Structure 1
Amino acid sequence: MIFPKEVEVIEVGPRDGLQNEPNLIPLEKKKKLIKMLSEAGFSRIETASFVHPKWVPQMANSEEMAEYSRELAITYLALTPNQKALERAIAVQAPQIAVFIGATETFNRKNINRSIDQSLEECKDLFERAKKANLWIRGYVSMAFSCPYEGEVAFEKVRYVCDELIRLGADEISIGDTTGKANPKAVYERFSRLRDLYPHTTFVAHFHDTEKMALANVVAAMQAGITKFDSSIGGLGGCPYSPGATGNVATEELVHMLEQMGCSTNLDLHKLREASRFAKTLSSRIQ
């Protein structure tokens, strides 16, 4: 079996973990969570989303979150689904941005009210502008294994989106098990094919834990050569357009497993567990 000596864990809790919380969380508590995560040793944290507050009220103070991340000298990711969002990211000097595209038409329309091709067309101009501003770009491929509206997702649908994102210049692609229903066999096969097709592309695995297979899926992805993983402190998260999906793989559980297997993460597990306890107090979904 393949166990890399070092694994990068990218924390997405402050954005992906909190965005779906129904009760507004005070800015100061969000800042405290970011500071605790920073002190645990993360090199990258997804902290902001420049989606219109009408659609994601929890992210209404993303400018403040971004500014605080900069004060802490964090390399942070900001979600920028359109040109207006990119303008906001450039205004706060965000170092890294991310765009989401669903691998299925139904999800993509429900999530951002566009077809896949319309989203990719918008990415063309967005990527060009971002590159001119020297921004590093992540492409998220959501519903890369299954979809609550269309069922099992064919590999060719994932490949189509990856093809376009890579052609447009994405620096990294995060492959998302948004429903949390992938299994280790499917994960190994899908990532193996992606790495064979795109040997020079950096892929990240993004697992939700709906069916309690996220950690097993991490091990399966490592066997396919993946060494970068998204996770959310305390297992926070969930997608409003993926009914029934639970939170992301919990950061503290992921790091514990990796360290036990001899895979260095350069993260402080004790501080992560402290951050997890605090993160759970912010959620009305985790008991």
Structure 2
Amino acid sequence: MLHLTECPRDAMQGWPTFIPTPDKTAYLNALLRVGFDTLDFGSFVSPKAIPQLADTAEVLAGLDLSQTRTQLLAIVANLRGAETAAQYPQIRYIGFPLSVSETFQQRNTNKSIAQALDDVAQMQELCARSGQEQVVYLSMGFGNPYNDPWSPEVLGEFTQKLADLKVGIVALSDTIGVSTPATIGPAFRELTAAFPQINFGAHLHTTPDTWREKVQAAYEAGCRRFDGALGGYGGCPMAADQLTGNMPTERLLEFAGAEGVGPQLNQPALAEAMRLNQQIFVGH
């Protein structure tokens, strides 16, 4: 079975108009009823950086976790954010973007890769104390616009550092929408073979006509953990092609069904979530 992470946080965070807190909460509760494995629901970052998600704590307080198998994931940008997330035991995963591009790491978090790795180490210790699990996203995971080094070997070097810290989940993230089967396949093939103790995920961005080849390449190379967002909203402001966005969850479900590895989801709840999705992203 595929492990599916639904990412409304990624869909919402760059939305140009503020989505009211009750609307966010209702949408997330609908998604919780669907039965995805993980829900990337919000982030604990500076409101100046991402004002759309300044209400994450308030939204979290309104979530009904009583009848769902879905685990919550929150994104953080530094140790301070992780310390905040660790105060909420209902959050299972704490996600941190670690860039394989030195330039982007500096621009995104105002820290060097070495400093970010120090944060990862401290967050790993924090998660061990709080009973949570860290998910490290290797951003710029398929290339970058700065001519910083990239190759499957570079990804392997970063992953070795994470393995040494006992990080158990690593997601390759296509920050700018440049992934192709030619880069996706070798990356996952080499990493899954070299680090069997790590659960590798794919956070891919896509245009409407390239989604299948990307998912197929990752799947055939051993990836079983995929991120998506209903409707494909959000996800890729740096992409050259304006049609590039998050991997649509409905496409992941289509692929999983064809392969016979689809999760058992609550279909009426999924239909209701899609209705609210359109209400939020078309209505606002």
TM-based fold match above 0.5: yes
1:42-93 C-alpha deviation (Å, 9 max, x unpaired):
1310112001111000110111222334645542001122222122112222
List runs of 5+ in structure 2 lacking aligned partners.
none
Partners of 2:159 and 2:44 in 1: CA distance: 23
Matched residue SS, 1:91:
coil
Q: CA deviation at 1:100?
A: 0.7
Structure-2 residue corresponding to 1:84: 80
Deviation at 1:226, TM superposition (A): 1.3
- The normalised TM-score by structure 2 is 0.90
- SS of the aligned residue for 2:245 comes to coil
Tell me the matched-pair count.
280
Residues 119 and 223 (structure 1 numbering): CA distance in 2 closer, same or farther, change over 3 Å?
A: same
Tell me how far 1:203 sits from its aligned partner: 0.4
Q: Is residue 2:6 matched to residue 1:11?
A: yes
State how far apart, in whole Å, the 2-side matches of 1:271 and 1:234 are: 16
Give the 3 Å change call, closer, same or farther, for CA 274–146 of structure 1 in structure 2: farther
One-letter code of the match for 2:74? A
Q: State percent identity of aligned pairs.
A: 29
Aligned counterpart in structure 1 of residue 254 of structure 2, from 253, 256, 277? 256
List alignment gaps of at least 5 residues for structure 1: 1-5
What residue is the counterpart of 1:33 in the other structure? 27
Closer, same or farther in 2 for the Cα pair 1:236/1:151, shift >3 Å?
farther
Aligned partner of 2:187 in structure 1 is 190
Is the 2:175–2:238 Cα contact (8 Å) retained in structure 1?
A: no
Change (3 A) 1:215 1:252: same
Q: Residue 105 in 1 paired to residue 109 in 2?
A: no
TM-score, normalised to structure 1, is 0.89
1:216 paired with 2:213, answer: yes
Aligned CA distance change for structure 1 residues 188 and 272 (closer, same or farther; 3 Å): same
The residue aligned with 1:3 is none
Structure 2 counterparts to residues 1-287 of structure 1, below 5 A: 6-13=1-8, 15-69=9-63, 71-72=65-66, 74-93=70-89, 94-150=91-147, 153-210=150-207, 212-240=209-237, 246-269=244-267, 271-283=269-281
After superposition, the CA RMSD in angstroms is 2.3
Q: Given that residues 138 and 170 in structure 1 are in contact (C-alpha distance below 8 angstroms), is that contact kept between their aligned partners in structure 2?
A: yes
CA 1:276–1:216: 2 relative to 1, 3 Å: farther
SS class of match (2:263): coil
1:148–1:242: 8 Å Cα contact kept in structure 2? no
TM-superposed CA distance for 1:253, in Å, is: 1.9
